[in-house]
Structure 1
Amino acid sequence: MPDLNSQVIAALLPAAYRKVFVAYSGGLDSTVLLDLCVGLPSLTGKIIAVYVDHGLQAESAGWGEHCRRQAERLGVDFQLLTVDARANNGESPEAAAREARYRALQELLAVDDIILLAQHREDQMETMLLQLFRGAGVSGLAGMPITSAFGKGQLLRPLLNVAKVEIQRYAQTQGLQWVEDPSNQSSDFGRNYLRNDILPLLKQRWPALDKTVARSAGHCGDAARMIDVWAEQILQAVVDPTDGSFNIADLSALTAMQLNCLLRHWLGRKGLKPPSQAVLQTLVEQLIGGRADALPQINIQGHSIRKYRQKLYCIPLQRLQKETQAKPWNQEQERITLGNGYVLTRSTASAGLSKNLWNSAIVTVEPRRGGETFKMPGRAGHHCLKKLYQEAGVPPWEREIRPLIYLNGRLAAVAGLWIAEWAWLSATDACYQLDWRALESMQ
């Protein structure tokens, strides 16, 4: 077995990169990782050691100071991040700390930045076994990838195929100093219980367990990637790129297993974690298999899944909050952020709402109250806004939250859809276009 050296990192580095952040807890694994980075001449001047203080233990501030001193001794930059890692109801302390840590690290990275994490082969084995005990599918059993997108940059795990014993031997040979987290000895947490009480017994019987389990994780990873490719190909055909809705008009060619797979991937695109089999069954029976004229909904993970006109929509619950009061739109404001996370923007156009009318009026943004009528440009008569929404296929919940624009108390526009005939103009750069969309879609 060759000795651990800096080439394990060099082999993973992309051709071009800007900064290299190292997640540095001060423990054995991250101490070795940082030392290996310092041993690479190509990384000189690019390394930033990052310590994340979760604030969960009295010793954490002292560990941060240790990390600072070690970074100074090695001649690398240092950054300390403080996060709120308190668990929400129903969330494990381990998961809460991990999520808080990853969020903070993601925000550090700009385009072409890299972050290195020190997970090794035994960490991979623990991750796969814990996922197995939770009933995960092949995606969960694939464990952690060596490389993955991370925020605006990239995440690398150079030690993921390295045994723990090799890391320990390297640290002893180099005379490195690290801190020991006493909570690692407590078996109250699931991972620690597995690491401290169960795996030592298993490795007595199967000494190469970390290697063989990691190999199985690799096989599951291959299978998961094949499924991902298939699912993405199908989703391209059934997902509307404008609103992300899932067309369920004709799914007869799919088996129940394939449909469940597609639903998981579609929800994953929306940022949701894989739903349980019970939730999937409810989706299929009540939404996909329900009456065409029914308007069922299922709320999970802060989102509402709804059906309208043979399409499924997944909407963050915040987006469904209706504004209840009129809001002024001052002349100098080009955009307004609404309380439900949507943004109204005004931009110059050659057709749309007359600038002269806008600039000489009191402009207000108001919620729908019911009974509004509207005369469309070039169309005879006034029409009830409800009928126009139905004709355009606007989902019922969107009709309630899409804002209306009034000039001097008169309805002039439905944001992002229509301009009233009396306010409409077509003239080069003499008009405003009004757009309404979720804030994250603009970033």
Structure 2
Amino acid sequence: MPDLNPQTVAALLPATCRKVFVAYSGGLDSTVLLDLCVGLPAFAGKIVAVYVDHGLQAESAGWGEHCRRQAERLGVDFELLTVDARASNGESPEAAAREARYRALRQLLAVDDVILLAQHREDQMETLLLQLFRGAGVSGLAGMPIASAFGRGQLLRPLLEVAKVDIQRYAQTHGLHWVEDPSNQSSDFDRNYLRNEILPVLKQRWPALDKTVARSAKHCGDAAQMIEAWAEQTLPTVFDPTDGSFNIADLSAITATQLNCLLRYWLRRMGLKPPSQAVLQTLVEQLVCGRCDATAQVCIQGSIIRKYREKLYCIPEQCLQKEVQTNPWIQEQERIILSNGYVLSRSIASAGLSKNLWNNAEVTVEPRRGGEKLKLPGRAGHHFLKKLYQEAGVPPWERDIRPLIYLDGRLAAVAGLWVAEWAWLSEADGCYQLDWRASESM
């Protein structure tokens, strides 16, 4: 590999980037990365050193001051971010600190901004080995990518293919000053234990271990990209974007391995992390291959997976909470946020619920209590909502949470589905259309 120099960073930086944030801890690696960035005249005035204070050690404030002074000496802007990195129940301190740090950094970026991290080849090796010990698949064994989307911008790791020894040599040659985190010497954390106790022994036998393991990570990354491309191409054959469901009616052309891949990809599309193998097996056994049981469900990451009419649905737990009270709809309101996170909104339409009736009535939003009937436009007789829901294929759990609209105490509409004949109107801009959907934040 060529000598470490500013072009190592420049090769990755888009010429159009607005700001270049450098995650700067004050340690050896990030100190070298910042120094490399300063050697890029084309990006003068765009470099911002960012120190994240986790507040976990007494020395952290002093390290932040060191970083500030170094940034001033180098003539680059500086930002200090303070985060709450305390671990929640069941969360490792390492994971909590990393998530808090990434969350803070992600919020910094605007469109066309980049954030640079100083992880190097040994870091990549440690990541792959830790993932291997946890039983990860090819995506996990791919380690860290050199470039990835991050918030509204992009995250880059310019030193990921650089050996630690080259970083040390650069720092010594250029007379750089950095801080040493004493916690790095503690082997209580998994990564430190691997770095301090295990890898030195392995490198005695296999000196080029970091290079060969990084090569394996690249192979796994290539395989993961191929799997990703297949899943992205295949998922539309079983995915219904209107309700986010996964169709399991005909999986005859899909192998068990491919099914697992699609289910992981589907759950990721629904905003969840990849499930463990045990959870995935339970999902397949109880829902995909199990009999059609309306009460069967699998809980995962605050969401519920349920099955109805040969479809799987992924529903946030909050969305399954039933409204128990009547909510008045004030005339000036265009939307109501319900306690279970759903948003009920109205918009002007040429067919739907009569604006005239709405504007001259007391409008209330009420939960289903059972026994309600509705006469639909152009259809004879009144019908129980239970029957209408069944005919329309509305999942059982949705029937109790979909709100009902009353005008002066009379059932006028089922949000997002039907309007009673007596309240129905077809007139240009003379109607309201009611929409009911989960909030985008859920």
Q: Say whether residues 1:166 and 2:190 are aligned partners.
A: no
1:75 is matched with which residue? 75
1:252 is matched with which residue? 252
1:220 is matched with which residue? 220
Q: Superposition pairs for residues 15-414 of structure 1, below 5 Å?
A: 15-414=15-414
The amino acid across from 2:96 in the alignment is: A
CA distance in 1, matches of 2:82, 2:425: 53
The amino acid across from 1:153 in the alignment is: G
Q: What is the CA-CA distance between 1:17 and the residue it aligns to?
A: 2.2
Q: Secondary structure at the match of 2:37?
A: helix
2:11 is matched with which residue? 11
The amino acid across from 1:224 in the alignment is: A
Q: Secondary structure at the match of 2:278?
A: helix
With over 3 angstroms needed to count, the CA separation of the structure-2 counterparts of 1:48 and 1:343, relative to structure 1, is: farther
Q: What is the CA-CA distance between 1:270 and the residue it aligns to?
A: 2.0
Farther off after superposition, 17-26 or 180-189: 17-26
The amino acid across from 1:63 in the alignment is: W
The answer to whether the Cα contact below 8 Å between 1:335 and 1:346 also exists between their aligned partners in 2 is yes
Q: How far does the alpha carbon of each residue in 1:79-104 deviate from its partner, in whole angstroms, 9 at most, with x for none?
A: 22222222122111111111121122
Q: What is the CA-CA distance between 1:402 and the residue it aligns to?
A: 1.5
Q: What is the CA-CA distance between 1:108 and the residue it aligns to?
A: 2.0
2:418 is matched with which residue? 418
Q: How many residues align?
A: 442
Q: How far does the alpha carbon of each residue in 1:2-45 deviate from its partner, in whole angstroms, 9 at most, with x for none?
A: 32111111111234322222212221111211221121122222
CA distance in 2, matches of 1:71, 1:258: 50
RMSD: 1.7
CA distance in 2, matches of 1:328, 1:173: 72
* Amino-acid identity (%): 84
The amino acid across from 1:433 in the alignment is: Q
The amino acid across from 2:25 in the alignment is: S
With over 3 angstroms needed to count, the CA separation of the structure-2 counterparts of 1:416 and 1:79, relative to structure 1, is: farther
CA distance in 1, matches of 2:58, 2:364: 52
Q: What is the CA-CA distance between 1:223 and the residue it aligns to?
A: 0.7
The answer to whether the Cα contact below 8 Å between 2:146 and 2:158 also exists between their aligned partners in 1 is yes
The answer to whether the Cα contact below 8 Å between 2:293 and 2:307 also exists between their aligned partners in 1 is no
The answer to whether the Cα contact below 8 Å between 2:355 and 2:430 also exists between their aligned partners in 1 is yes
Q: How far does the alpha carbon of each residue in 1:252-311 deviate from its partner, in whole angstroms, 9 at most, with x for none?
A: 222222211211221122232222222222111110111135441010111111100000
Q: Secondary structure at the match of 1:440?
A: coil
The amino acid across from 1:359 in the alignment is: N
Q: How far does the alpha carbon of each residue in 1:326-352 deviate from its partner, in whole angstroms, 9 at most, with x for none?
A: 222222222222222221222222222
Farther off after superposition, 113-122 or 81-90: 81-90
CA distance in 2, matches of 1:300, 1:139: 20
Q: TM-score, normalised by structure 2?
A: 0.96
CA distance in 2, matches of 1:48, 1:405: 53
With over 3 angstroms needed to count, the CA separation of the structure-2 counterparts of 1:434 and 1:30, relative to structure 1, is: same
With over 3 angstroms needed to count, the CA separation of the structure-2 counterparts of 1:175 and 1:194, relative to structure 1, is: same
The amino acid across from 2:374 in the alignment is: F
CA distance in 2, matches of 1:365, 1:67: 56
Q: What is the CA-CA distance between 1:208 and the residue it aligns to?
A: 1.0
The amino acid across from 1:205 in the alignment is: R
CA distance in 2, matches of 1:344, 1:399: 15
CA distance in 1, matches of 2:87, 2:306: 29
CA distance in 2, matches of 1:165, 1:260: 41
The amino acid across from 1:99 in the alignment is: E
Q: Secondary structure at the match of 1:401?
A: coil
Q: Secondary structure at the match of 1:318?
A: helix
Q: Secondary structure at the match of 2:240?
A: coil
The answer to whether the Cα contact below 8 Å between 1:295 and 1:308 also exists between their aligned partners in 2 is no
Farther off after superposition, 353-362 or 160-169: 353-362
With over 3 angstroms needed to count, the CA separation of the structure-2 counterparts of 1:189 and 1:351, relative to structure 1, is: same
- The unaligned stretches of length 5 or more in structure 1 are none
CA distance in 2, matches of 1:421, 1:79: 61
Q: Secondary structure at the match of 1:57?
A: coil
Q: Secondary structure at the match of 2:259?
A: helix
With over 3 angstroms needed to count, the CA separation of the structure-2 counterparts of 1:364 and 1:49, relative to structure 1, is: farther
With over 3 angstroms needed to count, the CA separation of the structure-2 counterparts of 1:33 and 1:96, relative to structure 1, is: same
With over 3 angstroms needed to count, the CA separation of the structure-2 counterparts of 1:423 and 1:110, relative to structure 1, is: farther
With over 3 angstroms needed to count, the CA separation of the structure-2 counterparts of 1:80 and 1:434, relative to structure 1, is: farther
Q: Secondary structure at the match of 1:95?
A: helix
Q: What is the CA-CA distance between 1:385 and the residue it aligns to?
A: 1.1
The answer to whether the Cα contact below 8 Å between 2:294 and 2:396 also exists between their aligned partners in 1 is no
Q: What is the CA-CA distance between 1:237 and the residue it aligns to?
A: 0.8
CA distance in 2, matches of 1:331, 1:19: 46
Q: What is the CA-CA distance between 1:125 and the residue it aligns to?
A: 0.2
CA distance in 2, matches of 1:76, 1:419: 62
Q: TM-score, normalised by structure 1?
A: 0.95
Q: What is the CA-CA distance between 1:389 and the residue it aligns to?
A: 1.1
Q: How far does the alpha carbon of each residue in 1:93-140 deviate from its partner, in whole angstroms, 9 at most, with x for none?
A: 111111121122222222222111111110000000000111111111
